[in-house]
Structure 1
């Protein structure tokens, strides 16, 4: 079983984008939460979440080829290192276009949390505070309905992922949101200091007679 440290080393070697690294950390966090919730092995689920996009920067796969680029290239590399097949199948299954069925709880959870962590991150970053603590389930649901918001997030994947896990959508959002809030600083979502609003001076205030 690869260690968390080994997985993180691969992420850092293969991925320079800070936002992509933070995404993988967010998915790791969500996978830990679901592993505890479902009585599964926390460390193996966490490693699956952390490593799932490690090859994306090198092999972005714009053509969505089933057996080339991301995630196939990364999985081939991990398989050569002797990584467990359960993790490899989960990583392959998180992308629709690979055609790999999501048969294990790990694979189902990885698919379910992947897009949702991205949506929650986007919800946090449009807050004045940039803090995930200021995001709530109702706000995430509202943003899900706004197709112009975070267009890269596949809403159908979030809904289908929750259904496959047998979890109500609001509950699913709540599980992932709570996990991300607990580790907000590590995910870069701890927030910024928002300066207090300055009252308008009498010279710049708009007169009611204007």
Structure 2
């Protein structure tokens, strides 16, 4: 398994846009937090973090080949574990045909779109994630022209895949992102 520093440098090499870098880091934070809450061993925590950080690695430079370029050409060169590659593959089932099945795959799918949506909500607030309420996120989810490119059905499906009520999933991520925001 590559170091966090190596993975972060790889992210910077392939992703120029600050917004996508930020999204990738948020998903990595969410994945790490869930891995810790599930009491994964340190090796698995690192895998979950890496899957979150690198899940959109090829999106900016190779959008038509996402995520296949990353999982078939870029990441194997650096010997990332198969679990990381499979999770990245399963986070985009409409492009790869692979549905999220394993725990890491289901959690990555669950954290990806919701993290992006919640970031959009945080940008509308003067205090970002601090003091954010679940209700403000769920209210925005019903506003279909807000963050219109985020598929609501994937957010709902993601919560079900990890066996959580959507409100519980949102609350967990608010806590994680609030904590990260204050650091």
Question: TM-score normalised to the size of structure 1?
Answer: 0.81
- Listed as ranges, the gaps of 5+ residues in structure 1 are 62-68, 187-210
- Residue of 97, 100, 103 corresponding to 1:99: 97
Partner Cα separation in structure 2 for residue 55 and residue 184 of structure 1 = 26
Partner Cα separation in structure 2 for residue 86 and residue 104 of structure 1 = 9
- Listed as ranges, the gaps of 5+ residues in structure 2 are none
Structure 1 position 4, deviation (Å): 1.2
Runs (4+) of structure 1 moved beyond 4 Å? none
Partner of 1:120: 118
User: 8 Å contact 1:115–1:157 — kept in the other structure?
Assistant: yes
Partner of 1:71: 67
The alignment yields a C-alpha RMSD, in angstroms, of 1.2
Partner Cα separation in structure 1 for residue 90 and residue 97 of structure 2 = 7
Question: TM-score normalised to the size of structure 2?
Answer: 0.93
User: 8 Å contact 1:56–1:71 — kept in the other structure?
Assistant: yes
The structure with the largest alpha-carbon Rg is: 1
By percentage of residues, which structure has more helix? 2
Partner Cα separation in structure 2 for residue 28 and residue 49 of structure 1 = 4
Partner of 1:55: 58
2:142 counterpart of 1:139: no
Partner Cα separation in structure 2 for residue 185 and residue 150 of structure 1 = 24
